[in-house]
């Protein structure tokens, strides 16, 4: 009896590939017309739009394990981040290459930077939220000027809602590897993994599991669909975010760097993506990707972008806005328990980032663990 995997996001793909590599017959059912889930790209009027701005970290253990980076025309992003401050733009370089530059930057004192390093080594974080733990170590100005704006873009919620140990683990994961994107869009990663899987059915939404009676099943849909399919109560909270795509005439913005702000702004981060990846826009336009956590009207976002990039508001043409309601699961201090087992019933398993960590690595890992648990049970 072949194994059924439901959902073609990274978790489902990783589960299906693990099973197939172990010699199992697998059928993967994906509701939409393509694989990738939250990691898909859309191609519109010469622009590449990732459905939710994100970067791939080539150093994630699960991505290394798949050896997929050489297959996806991966372009590394600049590790320097620009911060909009009341005193102009401050740049923070790659801490691995420019430690002293980072320590000298005016966004926080030397003492506060050491406090951040102390936080990174701390093992006494239980029950604390990330903001509380960082401030307790003494990172005050560094936290408000740099860490909070940057981390809000990572977790898509205020760091005060994030469990400190989990936050520390995610920050550590940025230190290894390079971040970047495939030249043809973030979705290429999922497509490269899917190309290794023999039996994928697209446009195949699964409404109930009864049709697969007697076959082992891995439910790797998003959290709410999985709760419905499995008849479980939903309790995990999710962050909602908006990704906006605008274009401006090329040449007006030349930076390739991610920009965040220490000033009050609905913009969490913004990047001129086509300066990093020219394939993302036609030659005469620059593609700007911007993240907000709240919905704002079109004129307000243009005004905000104008201040952010020092370019006239009328020059920003809106291409598309994506509302991502369940963007990332929130691992909070009161709800940070990861799943110990993927098994939810006899022959039925779950996979998804909400069980491990809100990241590509978390999704891939959860799929692999669910498949391994299924294989183990089958072998007994």
Ligand X SMILES: Cc1cc2nc3c(=O)[nH]c(=O)nc-3n(C[C@H](O)[C@H](O)[C@H](O)COP(=O)(O)OP(=O)(O)OC[C@H]3O[C@@H](n4cnc5c(N)ncnc54)[C@H](O)[C@@H]3O)c2cc1C
Binding site for ligand X (CB under 6 A): 6-12, 29-32, 37-39, 52, 54-55, 205-206, 220-222, 225, 241, 243, 324, 327-328, 352-353, 358-363
Q: Which is nearer to ligand X, 262 or 289 (CB)?
A: 289
Do 268 and 158 meet the contact criterion of CB atoms below 8 Å apart?
no
DSSP secondary structure string for all residues of 297-343: -HHHHHHHHHHHHTS-GGG-EEEEEEEEEEEEE--BTTB-PPPS--E
The residue among 131, 232, 120 whose CA lies nearest residue 171 is 120
How many residues are there in the chain? 380
Q: Which is nearer to ligand X, 26 or 115 (CB)?
A: 26
Q: In this complex, which beta carbon is closest to ligand X, that of residue 233 or of residue 380?
A: 233
Q: Kindly report the number of other CB atoms within 10 A of residue 372's CB atom.
A: 16
Rg (CA), the chain: 21
DSSP state of 85: E
Distance, CA of 105 to CA of 380 (rounded, Å): 58
250 or 359, CB closer to ligand X?
359
CB-wise, 6 or 272, nearer to ligand X? 6
Q: If you write DSSP's letter for every residue of 31-60 in order, what string do you get?
A: SSSSS-TTS-EEEETTEEEESS---EETT-
For ligand X, the closer CB: 13 or 135: 13
């Amino acid at each position: 009896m072949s194994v059924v995997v439901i959902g073609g996001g990274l978790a489902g793909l990783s589960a299906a590939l693990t099973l197939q590599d172990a010699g199992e017959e697998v059928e993967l059912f994906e509701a939409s017309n393509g694989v990738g889930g939250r990691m898909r790209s859309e191609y519109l009027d010469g622009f590449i739009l990732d459905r939710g701005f994100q970067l791939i970290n080539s150093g994630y253990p699960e991505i290394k394990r798949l050896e997929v980076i050489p297959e996806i025309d991966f372009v590394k992003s600049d590790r320097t981040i620009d911060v909009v401050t009341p005193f102009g733009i401050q740049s923070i370089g790659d801490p691995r290459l420019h430690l002293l530059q980072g320590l000298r930057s005016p966004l926080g004192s030397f003492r506060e930077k050491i406090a951040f390093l102390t936080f990174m080594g701390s093992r006494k974080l239980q029950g604390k939220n990330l903001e509380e733990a960082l401030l307790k170590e003494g990172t005050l100005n560094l936290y408000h000027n740099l860490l909070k704006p940057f981390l809000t873009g990572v977790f898509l919620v205020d760091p005060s809602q994030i469990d400190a140990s989990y936050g520390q683990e995610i920050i550590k994961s940025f230190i290894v590897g390079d971040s970047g994107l495939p030249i043809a869009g973030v979705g290429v990663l999922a497509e490269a993994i899917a190309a290794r899987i023999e039996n994928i059915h697209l446009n195949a939404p699964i409404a109930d599991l009864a049709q697969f009676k007697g076959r082992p099943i891995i439910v790797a849909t998003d959290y709410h669909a999985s709760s419905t399919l499995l008849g479980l109560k939903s309790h995990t909270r999710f962050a909602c975010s908006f990704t906006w795509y605008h274009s401006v005439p090329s040449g007006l913005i030349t930076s390739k760097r991610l920009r965040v702000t220490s000033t009050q702004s609905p913009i969490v981060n913004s990047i001129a993506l086509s300066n990093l990846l020219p394939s993302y826009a036609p030659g005469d336009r620059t593609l700007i990707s911007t993240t907000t956590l709240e919905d704002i009207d079109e004129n307000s976002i243009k005004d905000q972008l104008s201040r952010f990039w020092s370019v006239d508001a009328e020059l920003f043409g809106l291409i598309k806005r994506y509302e991502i309601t369940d963007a990332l699961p929130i691992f909070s201090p009161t709800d940070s328990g990861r799943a110990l087992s993927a098994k939810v019933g006899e022959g039925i398993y779950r996979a998804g980032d909400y069980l491990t960590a809100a990241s590509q690595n978390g999704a891939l890992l959860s799929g692999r663990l669910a498949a391994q648990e299924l294989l183990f049970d089958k072998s007994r």
